[in-house]
Structure 1
Amino acid sequence: MARPRAFDTDEVVAAAVAVFTEHGYRGASVDQILAATDIRRASLYNAFGSKRGLFLTALRSDRATMDLLLVALMELAPTDAALRRELAATLAERGIDERALGTALLSRADIRREEAL
């Protein structure tokens, strides 16, 4: 019989959203995620299967922000057909059209450019 989880999944997902939003998917290390979520590595893998599994859970959650959707779009969607389908469904479910997504993408790109200066 499996032990009950000693953490709140919603809190872990919220903390992971913050890490992925700040560092991107590729830039977010598992160690950074563990530090932000205050859970053990085994707990993360038991609950979500992988860093990608946690990212997909975060993407599907109510905690997903436009920035997180953009991380998925820019970093993972070009090479991951399953994620593209998931992302398209999430965007449609939230009523986010291409124009809103494009505006957010340009805004994020402008912010990143300013940070680099």
Structure 2
Amino acid sequence: MGRPRAFDEDEVVRAAVRLFGGRAYDGVSVDDLVTHLGVHRNSLYKTFGSKRGLYLMALRRHLADDVGPLLNSLAAATDAATVLRLVTSAYLDLLLLAAIERAPVDKEVAFEVTAALAAVDREIAHALGVPADLAAALTAAALGILVRGNPDNVAAALTHHLGPLT
């Protein structure tokens, strides 16, 4: 009979979201996971199967915990400035890194990323009553703002030119 698990799987997955979201998949070694998550190597493999297994669980948790609430917020958006503010203020680091780093080489990650971005596009299109291609362009613009690392300045500029965003 094995020893009882000495860690909370949910806490480990949540911590992995932040670790992978801060350093990307290739920037995190198994040793980093063991050190930062406080999980023994054998326990990590027994519970998650592999680094990739933990990564997929972390990505799915991120989509549920961070992208899910964004979708709910977008449903109430009434203008493009609000959409941009909502997307640029959400924690989407892992989604962005997954789209850039892992989706091109991992079909399962690509599926999750594509589905998440399509959901964002749908919520924007529905909330603003715009065609899907325009919603996708707004999503791309918002994600581009995040990639450039300047969401606060963009929000200030939008407020200056378009008025309060709330």
Q: Shorter-chain TM-score category?
A: 0.7 to 0.9
- Per the alignment, residue 71 of structure 1 pairs with 97
Query: Which structure 2 residues correspond to residues 31-110 of structure 1 after superposition, within 5 A?
Result: 31-61=31-61, 62=65, 65-93=91-119, 95=120, 97-107=139-149
Distance 1:9 1:63, change over 3 A: farther
Q: Which runs of 4 or more aligned residues in structure 1 lie more than 6 Å from their structure 2 counterparts after TM superposition?
A: none
How far does residue 21 in structure 1 lie from its aligned partner after superposition?
A: 2.1
Task: Name stretches of at least 5 consecutive residues in structure 2 with no aligned partner.
Answer: 68-90, 122-138, 151-166
Q: Aligned partners of 1:36, 1:63: CA distance in 2, in Å? A: 21
Q: TM-score, normalised by structure 1?
A: 0.76
The aligned amino acid for 1:16 is A
Q: Aligned partners of 2:7, 2:115: CA distance in 1, in Å? A: 28
How far does residue 3 in structure 1 lie from its aligned partner after superposition?
A: 5.5
Distance 1:27 1:4, change over 3 A: same
SS for the counterpart of 1:58 is helix
- Per the alignment, residue 10 of structure 1 pairs with 10
Q: Aligned partners of 1:44, 1:5: CA distance in 2, in Å? A: 11
SS for the counterpart of 2:104 is helix
Q: Aligned partners of 2:11, 2:17: CA distance in 1, in Å? A: 10
Please tell me whether the aligned partners of residues 16 and 37 of structure 1 are also in contact (alpha carbons under 8 angstroms). yes
Please tell me whether the aligned partners of residues 20 and 68 of structure 1 are also in contact (alpha carbons under 8 angstroms). yes
SS for the counterpart of 1:91 is helix
> Percentage identity across aligned positions?
49
How far does residue 47 in structure 1 lie from its aligned partner after superposition?
A: 1.2
Please tell me whether the aligned partners of residues 20 and 28 of structure 2 are also in contact (alpha carbons under 8 angstroms). yes
How far does residue 87 in structure 1 lie from its aligned partner after superposition?
A: 1.2
Q: Aligned partners of 2:5, 2:116: CA distance in 1, in Å? A: 27
Q: TM-score, normalised by structure 2?
A: 0.56
Q: Aligned partners of 2:60, 2:115: CA distance in 1, in Å? A: 9
